[in-house]
Every structure is written in structure tokens, then in C-alpha cells.
Structure 1
Amino acid sequence: MTGVARFRRLMREQRRRQGGRLALAAAAGAVVTAASVLLLGLSGWFITGAALAGVAGGAAIGAFNYLLPSAAIRFLAIARTGARYVERVSGHAAALKALARLRPALFDGLAAASPGRVRALSSGEASARMIQDVDAIQTLFVRLSTPWAAGAGGAIAIALAGLAGSGAAITVGIGTGLAVLGALAIGRLAADPAGARVQVATGRFKDRFSALQAAAPELRAYGLESWAVEQIAAEARTLDRRTIDAAAAAGWMTAWQGMVTGGTVIGVVLVSAGSPLPLVTLAALAAVTGIEAAGALVASFRQAGAAAEAVRRLGEVLDDPVAETGTVPTGDAVTLVALDLTLAAGRRLAVTGPSGAGKTTLIERLMALRDPVTDELRLGDVDLTHADVRGVRARFAYAAQDVRLLAGTVRDNLTLARADAGETDLWAALETADLADRVRAMPAGLDTPLGDNGERLSGGERRRLGLARACLRHAAWLVLDEPTEGLDAATEARVLERLDQRLAALGQGLILVSHRPAPLALCDRTLVVTGLAADGRILMESMPARVAA
């Protein structure tokens, strides 16, 4: 099943879940348009009839019944207002609830995707799809009520125009049809492509902005602020041009609707010239409101292109057949196939070697964060090229060399690893990372905001917070990439001592990448990575144990 098909299935499921609200919105929308057409038509008839009665003299005024029409006008006004409220609340509630379920499903699909699929999306592009594209498909839920509303309005308009003669009814029907068909044609030719280009241009703008924002310190250091501004401005100009094109297409739709409305009103007046003037007025105003009711359907045509492109882009997030065919490993042992070396959970492996040899690549392949190579690594009884991504990642707790932190509190960043962690667990993890005293000294302790990517912490503190987060996760293996880089000798010694005690108490395995001798002393076996082969395999050698196993 393609990603687009999977996403459409998710949308159908949400439509079923929100079926009650959507049905209520459709019924209320029909009431709104029906009441609007009746209100304007009746008002025109009433005003014209009252004016003619006044001209005719006192006898006509006495015979003219103004109570029932005025009461009906009040009723229709109240009914339209109430129905409009119900339509908006029900329709948007259904859409927002559906989107609230679609976003986690999309994120879940992206998190479970194969490494190559995930790496193909930059952070800015992924953010654009999760936010902007999901927002764009909101119209696919909200506009489900528009056909019912347009149909009800058109039917009432034709019926009212029929009071002035069959010619007037036919004219209104033809005008309404022309308004919809013409807008649909303009939408297909101009609005749909323009809307699709807006979605793509917005994604590129956000992607470029995100990349340059992440490099802001370096850009300032090298005096490249003006260059960065121009890069962003170029993407913004492209987005502006695409937005103008979409607005122009919408303008042509509006112009077409106005031309059809004017022509229909003139036609109604001409074909019903022999009817009483109040009925002619009623028919003319019914033509206006009938075509206006169809305008809600026309408005949805303007957004169809953007919504269709959003569905395609979101489908790409789920379009990952590799992630659907993996086998869940049945064990936790790690096997280095080339060395015929199997490490049971609880063992400690040091990974060392020259810079750039592939140490981080090796552990990322092991944890399914990079695409694996056949017959290089096994987890349990499964070669990683055939393993289920979720099943692999569940075996590991990881503290990366480049620590990424949320723009939230200390607690927010720790509970990423384990949402149900209690206060005792959080403080124990901070103690292991020798960061508990520092957090206790903060103004709000665990609830102290850290700023964007932990900017209120030093580099060493950010690294140790990443270590504390990894220590919270229940996993067979703890994987650490340069965990003590940038720490002074005394702090490094405390961290390593506490980490050793924790590993011994839990029986958790350790895979540790480091250039420093002190961390390597924690491990009972050393793996030396020497480089990458031409076929992408990592070249490695197993060294004698540093400490007896």
C-alpha cells in the first residue's frame, strides 16, 4: 500500500469517528443556506409588496398582512444565526479532533520509518509537513458540509423563483450550474496548480529558514548575516509569487461568480416581466442568494489544489515499505558478523578508532538510525537489514555526541526517555550524570526552563543531561557516544564511577564510543574501527579484554 493510500485510509477512519459531528454540520449548513435564501427573498417580496400597498392607498394598506411576513423574517434570521453557530462549531470541532489524531499517527509513522526515509526529510521540511500540510487538509473535513448547503440553497432559490414563473426557475437553475461549473474549471486550470505550488514553496521556505537559524552562531561569527537574510528573502519572494498566483486564481473565480450572478438576475427579471412586481423581486433576490449559496462550494475549489498537494506530501511521510516488512528480534545479543563475535546483554563494549573511521556510523546502524548493511550486524536472531525498526530501537537507550534538547524544562527533556518516570527516578538519573546539585540550585529545580536547545546550560551540562535522559530508559543496552567529552577530570571520574555502579546494579549492557582512556576502562572488550570498505561495510578489529569479563 502506498503512503498516500495509507494516509487516505487514516482520513477515512477519522471521518467515521467524527461522523456525528460532520452530519450535524451538514444539516446545519443546509439550514443556514435555506434560511438565507428564504430570508432575502421574503424580505424583497415584503418590502416591494408593502411599498406597492402604500402607493395603492388606505384600503390596500388595511388589507396588507405585514404581521406574518415580519414574524417569518425574524424567525428565519434567528434560525440562520443559530444554525451557522452549530455548523461552525460542529464542523471545526470535527476537523480539529481529526487533525489532533492524524498528527500523532503521522509522527508515529515517521518515527518507525527506515533510516534512509527519515534522513531524506530535513527538520524544517518535516516540521512543514506536520504543521502546514496537516492544517491544509483541514478543509477536507470542514467542506464536507458545503455540498449539502449549496444543494439546499440552490433548491430553495429555484423553488422561490418558480413563484414568478417556470422561466425564472429555469434561469436560476442554469445560472447556479454555470457558477459552479465555471469555478470548477478555473480551479482545475489555475487554482489547483497554484495552491499546490504554495504548499511546496512554503515547505522550502521553512526548510531554508530552519537550516540557517540552526547555523546562526557560525553565520554571525563569519559575518554572513546579510548573505543569510538574502537566502531567506529569495525563498520568501518565491513563496510570495506563488501566493499571488493563488490569489489571482481565486480572484478569477470570484469575478466569474459575479458575472454569472449579474447575468442571472437580468435573465430572471426579463423572463418574469409579466409577473407581479413583488414576485419578480423575490425571484431576482433568490437568484442572488442561490448563486451565493453555491459560492461556498466554489470557495472549496480554491483550496482543493493545496489540499491535494498536502495529501501527497503527507503520504510521502508514510510511504516506506521497508518499515512494514521487518522482523522483530527475539533476543538482545549483539553480533558483529565479520568478527564472529556475539555479546550478550550485560556485556560492555568499548568502540574506539581514529576520527572519521565510522564509530558513530557503526552504533547508529546497530540502533536502526542508519540504513544497515547485509551480514554486518545482528540483533538477537535477526540480521539488521531484515529487522523491524521499532523492535531494534526498543533495545537501546542512547546519548548521542551531539545532544539535542527541547526548548522546555529539565523535566520535559528527561521524560522524553520515559514519560512515566517519577521524581525519584529523575533525581537518580541526574545523580548518575553528576547533575543533581546543579539542577537543585536552579530557580525552579526540575521545572526550570532551559531555553532553545538547552542554551542556558554549558556544553558539558548539556552532555550530562543527555546522559541522564538515556539512563532513564529501560533498555537492554546503554549506548554512549563520547559521554565525557568536554568534562574536567574530576567530573569525569564522578560520572564514570556512578555510571559503573548503575550498570552493575541493573545488569545493563554498555556500548561506549570514546577517545579518552578513562571511559574505556569501564568496558570488558574493545572494538577498534579502522575505516569504511568500498562496499560501505565498517572495517573493525576486536582487541583483548581490558578487564576480565
Structure 2
Amino acid sequence: MIAQMLQDASRRQRSATGVAIILAVLAAIAGVGLLAVSGWFLTGAAIAGAAGVAAVRGFNYLLPSAGIRAFAITRTLGRYGERLFSHRAAFFALADVRPALFGRLAGAEPAAVFSRPSGEVAAQLGSDVDALEDAVVRRVTLPGAVAGACTGLIACFLAGPWAAAALLAGLAAMRLASRGVVPGLLAAQVRRRADAMTRLKSSYAEYAACSAEIAVYGLIPQIIEAIGMDIEELEASRLAIVRLEAMTQGGQLVLAAVTVACVLALANGAAPLAAAAALAGASAAEAWSGLVRTDLNRPRVDDALRRLEDMASLPPRAPHHSGIERLARAPLRFESEGRICEVQPGSRLLIGGASGKGKTRLLGTLMGLRGDAPQRVTIEGTDVRDLGLETLRKLFAQAPQDASLLAGTVADNLRMARQGVIESEMWAALDTACLAETVRALPDGLNQWLGGDGARLSGGQRKRLSLARALLGERPWIVLDEPSEGLDSATEQHLARNLGEWLDQTGTGLILVSHREGLHHLVDKVFAL
């Protein structure tokens, strides 16, 4: 699935990839030609100089010099252009893959998504997607390496078939050593590094969420000690990878040197031709070694594909139910340990019980965000677990206990409720949530930037902004989990009065969880866990 997604994204960059391949081939051919002509020219010039003045005067140095200059310019421009266009194709392809992956993640069952640590998701959408760059660049590397090798073989064949055979054998040995040995040695260390990096990012995400508490209680040394083993594991795996890569590159260099020596020894004809063949073989080996870098990156690419395939294979959400209007007019039926509580549309229910009884878990199941509540909630005889998030989000608006906000403005967060929300509706919702005066006091009002997760607001203000967003949802039911937590008594009374008036005006049904009694008079039925 990921491979197909990457292939589709790369197909949209065919023009840039095609230009990069052409330039890579030109650069490889020019590189071999540059060294071959240079070797022939320098050796011939040296022999002419040793032969005397007459030989020097008869030696044609203009054409070889022009050829060397042409090859050098072509090689330089070709390499620059190849890197420019190949990386452009890779970057734009990955720019298509990353949001496509995020869309698949956002469209998966919430229970499957929320079970993953946020650091793991960040690693997959970040470093794992970046690792796929080599899979795109590889399409350019292979044609350039083949072109350089073929050009070197042709140059060596001019010095004799045995010289060409020696180069061919050397290139084959380099490829076998790289292709057959490197991936197996590196794979385990690459997985080790990736796992350590994922654990570190997960730990960082968890600790960053409570950074204030860590600073207040002076827990930084303990945190560093806690993640120390993962840091050591990461550094050890990195060191092992560097050593293996250095050994591989060194082995390739030795094979290339032996190959060039064999070409030089087996070359027939004059010394300039033998020098040209030897240097052409060296340049061909250099171009061919580009495939080694691909082999070194292949374990990382394969590991990233494996991880991303796991993300892309998450089960999709249940499709949208066709009878939303009918479900909106149907009662809710709560069942727990033989007890049944039926709530008609527009009614108000308090879900009670001591802390730890599973009230928030029941609300999460009701909203379609999880499915592990022991209680059963049905609408028209259908369990809400079978309706799915796409349907339930049309029926319920929620202000959760832990209010999550966008890293944006006040208006940005309110617009999440539904499309087409206008400013007058925003102010009305803020008034009901007892937050309008606070927002008016902000320098930019509704356009005030709040920072990550509403960092400029207090806990109570964040909760009331989440409540205002739920009020704007225009759903048949509104689900409130501890909406007055963190508020003083006067503000709580004001909020309860506003909510009561809003519920009377709109006829919206209420599902409430609250340990504070200030809002209990709003409900007409209690379902205790």
C-alpha cells in the first residue's frame, strides 16, 4: 500500500525524474571520458616530451585539451543538475506521501489510532517518511551507474578484451559484495536505531506534556536518567552503522583498486591507451559505487516501509449512516448490569458514580472514540459501537474533560465546530460559556493567537472555549465532561444559568458528567455507574 502510494506520488514527478536521469547519464559518461582522455593525453604528452623537440612539436594537444574541458564542464553541470532535479522530485513526492498518510491515519478507527503513542506517530510521519527519499533517488542512481560502467567497458575494450573482462569482473565483485553482504549486516542495526529513536520520541512527547510539573518539582535529572538507556542504545546503533558503512566503503575501494590494477596489467597497445583504459576503469568503478550508497540505505528504507505499512493498514472507520435524521429523533438507551435507562431526545441525563467507575470511558464509547466501555448504549436497537464515528459525530457534540485546542486563534478553534460559523455565532457561544469578556480583553479578540494547545489560556478558560465550540456544533445532543471543573462558584452558577437557557432555547439533549453539584439541577434523570 505504501509502495503504491509512493509510486503514485513519484509518477507525478516524472518530468523532473526524467531530466535527472538524463543528466545523471551525461555526468557519468562525461566523468569516464574526462579521466580516459586525461590519462591518454598526459601519458602521450610525457612520451612525446621524452622523445625530443620534434615529437613535442608534432604532438596535437589542442583537441585533447578541448575534450577534457568539455567533459569537465558537462560532468560538473550534469552532477549539479542531477542532484537538483532528483532531490526536487523526491521532496515533492514525499510532500504528497506525508499528507496522504496523515489522511489515512485520520480516517482510521479512533481506538486503533489512540492506542499508538504520539511519539511513534510523529516518528512515522517524520523520519520514516524522510527515509523514503532514497527510494525515489534510486531511480536516478541506477541509470547513471549503468551508463558509467558501460562507458568504462567500451574504453577498456579499446585496450583489449581482457582489460574489459577484468573491469566487468571487478564491477560484478563490487556489486555482489555490496548487494549480498551489506543489507544483512545493517538490517538489525537499522531496526535497533529506529526502535530506539521511536522510544525516545514517545518519551519526549509524554514528558513534554507535563513539562511544567517536571520543572516545578526539579525532575529533570530523573527524566534524563529514565531515557538514558534509550539514548545509549541509539548512540550504540549509530556507531555500529557507521562502522559497517566504513568497512563497506573500504572494501569497495580495495576492490576498485584491484580492478584498476588488473585492467592496467591486461591492457594491450601503447602506453597512452593503457593509461586511458585504467583511468576509465577507475571512473567506471566510481560511478558504479553509487549503487553502494543505495544498498547502505536500503535497510533503512525497508524498515521505514514496514512501519508505514503498519500505519496505512489501520482499519478504516465505519461508513456514514444514511438515517441520521431518524437517529436524531430516536431515544438513547443505556444498559448496565441489568439496569436500563432510556433518554428521549431533548432530555438531560447525568451519568453519576464515584471516580474510576468509567464515566469518561462510557462517554468516549458514546462518541465513537473508543469501544471498551462495559455498558451498552443503543440507538434504535443498534449499539453505538456499530454506528461508528462518522455517524456519531453527526449526533453528538462534545466538550471533553481534557480540552484539546488547536495551535491557532480563538476563531480557528471555534470554526472546528462546523462549517460556516460566523462571528456573531462565535460571540453568542462565548457568552453562553462565560468567556466572552475574556476574549474581548485579548489584544486581538477572536483573532488572538493562543499557541500550542491554548497555551495563553488557563485551564478553566481552555475548558470554556471547548464548551463554546461544542455549543456551535448544532448537534441533537451535547456531551459535557466536567464542564465546570476549575471554575469558582460564581462563574459556575453563571455558566449553569446560561447553559439552562441555551438548552431550553435549542431543545438540545444533554449528557452530563460532573462531580460538582452546581450543574446537577440542569438534568432530569440520573444513570449511576
Give TM-score scaled by structure 1 length.
Answer: 0.87
TM-superposed deviation, 1:394: 4.4
Q: Does 2:453 match 1:456?
A: no
TM-superposed deviation, 1:238: 0.7
Paired positions, count: 522
Q: How do 1:288-303 and structure 2 match up within 5 A?
A: 288-303=282-297
Distance in 1 between residues matched to 2:187 and 2:144, nearest whole Å? 23
TM-superposed deviation, 1:282: 1.6
TM-superposed deviation, 1:136: 1.4
Contact 1:374 1:385 (C-alpha < 8 Å) held by counterparts: no
Q: Which residue of 2 aligns with 1:39?
A: 34
Q: For structure 2, which runs of at least 5 residues remain unmatched after alignment?
A: none
Q: Which residue of 1 aligns with 2:151?
A: 156
TM-superposed deviation, 1:184: 1.3
Q: How do 1:15-164 and structure 2 match up within 5 A?
A: 15-164=10-159
Distance 1:76 1:334, change over 3 A: farther
Q: Does 2:330 match 1:336?
A: no
AA aligned opposite 1:330: G
Contact 1:367 1:393 (C-alpha < 8 Å) held by counterparts: yes
Distance 1:349 1:92, change over 3 A: farther
Distance in 2 between residues matched to 1:392 and 1:407, nearest whole Å? 26
- Which of 221-230 and 282-291 deviates more? 221-230
Q: 1:11 aligns with which of 6, 16, 29?
A: 6
Q: 1:280 aligns with which of 274, 278, 287?
A: 274
Q: Which residue of 2 aligns with 1:232?
A: 227
Distance in 2 between residues matched to 1:255 and 1:177, nearest whole Å? 17
- Which of 337-346 and 455-464 deviates more? 337-346
- Which of 258-267 and 486-495 deviates more? 486-495
Q: Which residue of 2 aligns with 1:546?
A: none
Distance 1:340 1:161, change over 3 A: same
Distance in 2 between residues matched to 1:407 and 1:98, nearest whole Å? 27
**Alignment root-mean-square deviation, CA:** 2.7
TM-superposed deviation, 1:368: 1.4
Distance in 2 between residues matched to 1:485 and 1:212, nearest whole Å? 24
Distance 1:33 1:499, change over 3 A: farther
Q: How do 1:56-455 and structure 2 match up within 5 A?
A: 56-272=51-267, 274-321=268-315, 323=316, 328=321, 330-331=323-324, 332=328, 333=330, 335-336=332-333, 338=335, 343=343, 346-372=346-372, 376-379=376-379, 382-418=382-418, 421-455=421-455
TM-superposed deviation, 1:482: 0.9
Distance in 1 between residues matched to 2:297 and 2:249, nearest whole Å? 14
**SS of residue matched to 1:22:** helix
Distance in 2 between residues matched to 1:53 and 1:231, nearest whole Å? 73
Distance in 2 between residues matched to 1:78 and 1:396, nearest whole Å? 67
Distance 1:241 1:402, change over 3 A: same
TM-superposed deviation, 1:15: 2.7
Distance in 1 between residues matched to 2:425 and 2:52, nearest whole Å? 91
Distance 1:437 1:238, change over 3 A: same
Distance in 2 between residues matched to 1:261 and 1:401, nearest whole Å? 66
Distance in 2 between residues matched to 1:448 and 1:325, nearest whole Å? 37
Contact 1:374 1:384 (C-alpha < 8 Å) held by counterparts: no
Contact 1:410 1:446 (C-alpha < 8 Å) held by counterparts: yes
**SS of residue matched to 2:227:** helix
TM-superposed deviation, 1:144: 1.8
TM-superposed deviation, 1:408: 4.3
TM-superposed deviation, 1:334: 5.6
Distance 1:114 1:223, change over 3 A: same
TM-superposed deviation, 1:502: 4.5
AA aligned opposite 2:388: D
TM-superposed deviation, 1:340: 5.8
Distance 1:509 1:297, change over 3 A: farther
Contact 2:346 2:507 (C-alpha < 8 Å) held by counterparts: yes
TM-superposed deviation, 1:133: 1.2
AA aligned opposite 1:14: A
